[in-house]
Amino acid sequence: MESLKEKSKRAEKIVEILKKLKGMPYLSVHKKDSPFRILIGTILSQRNRDIMTEKASKKLFSKFDNVEKMANASLKEIEKLIKQSGFYKTKAKYIKKTSRIILEKYNGKVPKDMDKLLELPGVGRKTANCVLVYAYRKDAIPVDTHVHRISNRLKLVNTKKPEETEKELLKIVPKKYWQVFNELLVNHGQTVCKPIKPECYNCKIVDYCKFKNKNL
Ligand code: SF4
């Protein structure tokens, strides 16, 4: 059986290969976004396709581009703007409540602390970790559906739930790679290691992958 140390080495190889594919600098797509936009955008992305998240975020922020406006917006208006996002009624409630709490309790600033983030409506570990990494450049691994699926296919982890995956990855992935891990795997999941029919014949990390049903 592969030891933790061996898995760690394999994870390192995988990250180094994916990093080269993507090119430097990392996290560039998020550079211009404020912590508030990253937080709300991540709530919108929950159980939603990437393309729909983008459309809904664009519409919502075109009308309410800061925490104050969002906190004072009517629920109906928010719902209308994010209708393309799945579960939009629930998300609209979360967005409004969360904006209000940030405005009133945190003086308009998104908290930088995991425990405080988790108290916000609609914020689970994935969303909180996204804020820590993409808004504040803190060392964390957000585990979304891509990271969960690919980490299991690679057999870096053997887990059922994203929370378990996060816990395991924190032991396996060297800390210097935590901040880039999500972005690299999301990119890999969208382009090559897709949920259905992964393109293993086109995969640059195939030599480090232990997935049984490779399409080669
Ligand atoms: S070899 Fe296939 S299953 Fe493994 S990471 Fe690449 S695309 Fe995904």
Residue for token digits 């490779």?
Answer: 214
Q: Binning pLDDT at 50, 70 and 90, where does residue 38 land?
A: very high
> pLDDT at position 85, please?
87
User: Could you give the CA distance from residue 199 to residue 189 in angstroms, rounded to a whole number?
Assistant: 10
Residue type, 148: H
Do the domains at 4-27+141-208 and 31-135 have one common CATH topology? Answer: no
Cβ atoms 122, 95 nearer than 8 A: yes
Q: What is the pLDDT of residue 52?
A: 83
Which residue among 190, 192, 204 has the greatest number of ligand 1 atoms within 8 angstroms of its CB, and so is best to mutate?
192
pLDDT-based confidence at 2, cuts 50/70/90? very high
**CATH class of the domain whose range is 31-135:** mainly alpha
pLDDT band at 48 (very low <50, low <70, confident <90, very high): confident
Distance of CA 157 to the CA centre of its chain: 18
CATH for the stretch 4-27+141-208: 1.10.1670.10
Farthest-apart Cα atoms in the chain, separation: 56
Q: Is the pLDDT of residue 198 over 80?
A: yes
Secondary structure (3-state) at 32? coil
Q: What is the mean pLDDT of the chain?
A: 93
pLDDT score of 30 more than 80: no
End-to-end, the C-alpha distance of the chain in Å comes to 25
pLDDT mean over 50-73? 92
CA–CA distance from 51 to each of 42, 57, 61, 126 (Å)? 13, 10, 16, 19
Residue 208 has pLDDT above 80, yes or no: yes
Whose Cα sits closest to atom 4 in ligand 1? 209
Please state the domain extents for the chain: 4-27+141-208, 31-135
| Local structure of 65: helix, strand or coil | coil
Q: For a substitution probing ligand 1, which of 14, 149, 181, 206 has the most ligand atoms within 8 Å of its CB?
A: 206
